[in-house]
Amino acid sequence: MKAHVSLACWPGLRHEEAAQRLDEPPLEPCFGRLSTAHVQLVPQSLGTLDDALVDTLREAFPATRFRLHANVRVLPRHVIADLSNFTMHPGWFSQAARISQRLDAPAYTAHAGRRSQANLGEMLDNARRCADVFGCPVGVEGHYPTSQDTWLVSSWEEYQTVFESGVPYALDLSHLHIVATHSGRREEALVAEMIACERCLEIHVSANDGHGDRHDVCDEPPWWFALLDRAHPAAVIFSEGNHRRERRTA
């Protein structure tokens, strides 16, 4: 059960500053030393991910397969691009696809996005269209409930719909802990099925109190931890635990 580095481990640093820390990957209580065989480039990093930076990263870390996640900054201006507003940001998706291809990335994962911008069926159609643009599998990352019902894929029922849609996905288990807390139930059978499926591109791990997406490091095994034994061999586990916060606390 090998977990890999997401640059979300060091939020607020520039891409290149966070990448420098790959020479000594974090050690986590639940997952041991994180692997750099696969690394996520994320919107929590500052600066623009352009051709020159991509080439620098690939030259500095030839054994690492980098991939984009969500609305990582690929344009000078910050864009909140996700699958619900796919048709609103063709320039961002086109540039992100080009950067992804320059990275030779095996996959891309994006947030489902806002309920006000698409319904569930439209978002899933957008994911299929996005895969055509990227030329690689594109996975839907679901969300969690809020008081304003902001996000698509924020209930067990909607996660079931994504699972049955045939569309690839990323499963953020910290988001599912919030879903479980708000719903008062843990759908462990569904989670086990989704983890084991060949369409599960990524599994994201971090900890929270069930009320907000804090990206804490997993210091103790959460309720979903044992289910990781069933993960599909091709699914890449990424830790998104915040090691900058951990260091300050220590």
pLDDT in tens, 124-183: 999 999 999 999 999 999 999 999 999 999 999 999 999 999 999 999 999 999 999 999
| Helices 156-165 + 120-134 axis angle, to 10 | 40
CA 237 – CA 40 distance, rounded (Å): 10
- Is the pLDDT assigned to residue 214 strictly greater than 60? yes
CA 47 – CA 184 distance, rounded (Å): 40
- Is the pLDDT assigned to residue 247 strictly greater than 60? no
Strand, coil or helix: 182:
helix
CA 232 – CA 54 distance, rounded (Å): 29
CB 93 within 8 A of CB 81: yes
What are the backbone angles phi and psi of residue 120, rounded to the nearest 5°? -65, -45
**Residues 6 or more apart whose Cβ sits within 8 Å of residue 202:** 107, 109, 139, 141, 170, 171, 235, 236, 237, 238
- Is the pLDDT assigned to residue 249 strictly greater than 60? no
Digit-coded pLDDT (tens) for 48-90 = 999 999 999 999 999 999 999 999 999 999 999 999 999 999 9
Would you place residue 234 in the very low, low, confident or very high pLDDT band (cuts 50, 70, 90)? very high
- What is the number of alpha carbons within 13 Å of residue 192 lying toward its C-beta? 9
**Mean pLDDT over each residue of the chain, to the nearest integer:** 97
The H-assigned helical ranges of the chain are 15-20, 51-60, 90-103, 120-134, 156-165, 173-183, 188-196, 243-249
DSSP state of 216: B
CB 65 within 8 A of CB 35: no
Residue 250 burial by Cβ neighbours in a 10 Å radius (0-12, 13-18, 19+): exposed
Percent over 90 (pLDDT), the chain:
97
pLDDT, residue 157, reads: 98
Q: Rounded to 5 degrees, what angle do the CA atoms 197, 7, 141 make?
A: 35
pLDDT, residue 245, reads: 84
pLDDT, residue 250, reads: 45
